[in-house]
Structure 1
Amino acid sequence: MTALAPPDTDAQLVSRAVDDLARSTRFPVVFGGLERQGSVHVTAIAGARSHAIDDLVVQVGRGLGGAAMMEKRPRLALDYRTARTITHDYDRAILGEGIATLFAVPIVTEGRARGVLYCGAWTQAPVGDLVARPAFRAADAVGTELRIRDEVQRRLSLAPPPETVAGLSPSAKEDLRESFAELRSIAATVDDAALRERLAAIEQRLAAVARDGSVARGGNDARGDGDAQLSPRELDVLACCALGSTNAEIAAALNLKEGTVKSYLQAAMAKLDASTRHAAVARARRIGILP
C-alpha cells in the first residue's frame, strides 16, 4: 500500500495560508482551521497578542465562524461585542484577545464548507472589497488544494495493487490510462511536495499496466530502458496523446500553447526513437513509463 502524506499536512496548509494572509491583509490578527466532526479546530494563529484563542474549537452554526460555515458565505461582525446576529459562545476567546471587528470566510470545496479563515482587528474597522479580497483569495487557495488532495486520495483508493494489474480487461486498462493522464494534469498545478510524492506513487502504480506488469521506477522524471528519459512535461503530453487527444486538446488540458505541445511531443518522439506519436506511445508503454 502506498504511504500517504503525514496527518498534519492539512494543518500545515492552513498554517501557510494564515501566515500569507497575515502579510497581505490590513487585519492585525489572522487565524483559522479546518472542520473535524462538526467543529472547526483553530490550528494556526498569526499576530495575536495573547493566548486567548489558542486551541479554539468552534461548533458549526455557533459564533461568527460557525455561522459562516453553516451558510457557506463570509460573515462580518463590525462590533463583535454587541453583534446580535450571532451566538456569543466564544466571547471569552475573541474578546479575551481584544478583538473588536471580526471577519470570517469559509473554506468551501465542491459545495461543502471545510473550514474557516478569520481576520480580526482590535478596533472597529470597515471591511470593503479591497480589504476582504486577500481573505477570499486565501480561502479559495486552501479550498482548491483540499479539492486536489481529495482527488489524489480517491485515485489512490481506486488503484489496484501491482500484482493484479496485468490481468485487467482492456476497458479497465483504458480507465487507468485516463486516470494517469488526469493525475499528470493535476500534478502540473501542485506546489506541495507531499502531494507531488503521492501523485508520483499513484502514477507508478498505474504504469504497472505496462507489458511486464511491474511498477516503473524513478523519481519525478519518467525513465525507461536505454537512453529514454522524458521530462515531466513531455510525459504529460504523451499521456494525453495516449488518450487520442489532439494537440489543441492537449494544450487546453495542460494550459500550454499548441506550439509548445508540439515541441514537447517532438522531443518525446526523438527520445523514444519513434517517428509518430502512436509509435512513441507504444514504446513508452513497452518500457513501462506509460500504462
Structure 2
Amino acid sequence: MRRSTEPNRVVPGDAVLDQLALRHSELLVLLDESAAMNAVARRIREVGGFDMSLVGRVEYDGAMVHRSWLGTQSTALHRLLVPEGHGLGGKSLLQRRPVWVRDYLASSAITHEFDELVAREDLRAMLAVPMIYDGEVLGAVYVGVRGKVSFGEQVVSLVEEAACAASATLVSARRAQIQTRVAVQADRRRKAAELHDSVSPVLFRIGAELRSLRAVTGAECVRARVEELERQVQDVTSMLRSTLAELNEQPPDRHLAVSIQEDCEAFEERTGTPARYVPLAVIPDLGPGRNEALLGVVREALVNVEKHAHASAVVVTVSIVGDTLSVAVADDGCGWSEDRADPAPGHLGLSLAAQRMQRLGGGVVMSANDDGGSTVRAWVPCYAGDRNG
C-alpha cells in the first residue's frame, strides 16, 4: 500500500517505483549485513510457515545478539544478548548443530535464563540452527511455533539449507563493506603520499636555509635570504591550500553521495543506531536544486527514524531506473501505520520537503516494509543530459 504526500493525488511512476523497490531488495542484501539478516528472517519463516523467525549474529566474545526478526508480538527477544551455551540458540552455537525443543519452557535439554522473554512471545516449539561459513560460527537462525509440535527431519533440513545460504550472504555483505573501507583508505594514502612528495622537499629546503643563516653576516645578505624563505613558505602554503581544496571538493556526481554518507555517519554517532549508505547507481549531476531537495528528504526521514521508529538499523540507497532517480531511507523499526503514512501534519518537516520535491517534478511516498519497519522514498527526474554532465 502506498499513499501520496498530497491527499487525493495519484502518485506518478508507480511502475518505476515497483522496479526500484525490487532492485533495492535484490541488491541490498549483497551489500549490507542488516538488510541481509532481515531478508534471512523473512526467508526462513516462509520455509515452513512458522509463527516467528529470528536471526542472531555473533558479536561480543562469542555471544550472539538478535538483530532481525519477523512475526514477534513483543520486543522481548529483540536485540537480546545470548552467550554461547545458554538457551536454545546458545546451545546450537556451542554444539554447532541444529537444536530443537517441543516445549521451550518445559524442556530439560536447555538452560532457562530466557524463559520469561519466551513466555511473553507465547512460544513453545522452537528450532535453532547455527550459521557456519568456512568453519566460523557467524550466528544462528531460529524458527518458533506458538504451540507444542515436533520438527521433522525434512523441516530441519530445509532450515539448515536456509542457514547455509544465509551464511554465504552475510559473508558477502561483510566483504563488500571491507572493500568499501579499503577503497577509502587507499584514497587517503594516495593523498598523504602526494602531500609528502610535494611539501616535504620544500620544508627541508626551508630548514636548511634557516640553519645556514647562522653563518651569514651582513644585513643585506640576511634580508635577501629571509625574503627567499618567505617565498618558499608561501609556496608551501599554496600547495597545502590546493590539496585541502581538492580533498574538500567533490566531483558533481559525488556531491549528493558524500552528503548522504556524512549524514548517515552523523546519525549513527548521534543515536548509536547503525546507518549505512548503499549506492546502487552512480549519481549524475542533478544540479543544486534537486540535490538539496533529495538531501532534505533524507535528513527529515532520518530525524523521524530517530524520534519515532525505535529502529536497530537504517539503510539509505540511491537507485536509477529509466529517467528517474530514487533515494530510499529504510528502517527496521516499529513499522508503518495510517498515522505515519502521510507526513502532514505529524511530520511537518517531511511534508515541506515533499512539497519541494513536487515542485521539481518528483515526489515522496512512505510505505511499510514486508519484513517490518518502513521506507521513505523520494524520486526526481534525471535526464540524459544529466548523465552526460
- Please report the TM-score for the alignment, with normalisation by the length of structure 1: 0.50
Q: Quick check: which has more Rg, 1 or 2?
A: 2
Higher relative contact order (CA 8 A, sep 6+): 2
- Please report the TM-score for the alignment, with normalisation by the length of structure 2: 0.38
**Which structure has greater strand proportion?**
2
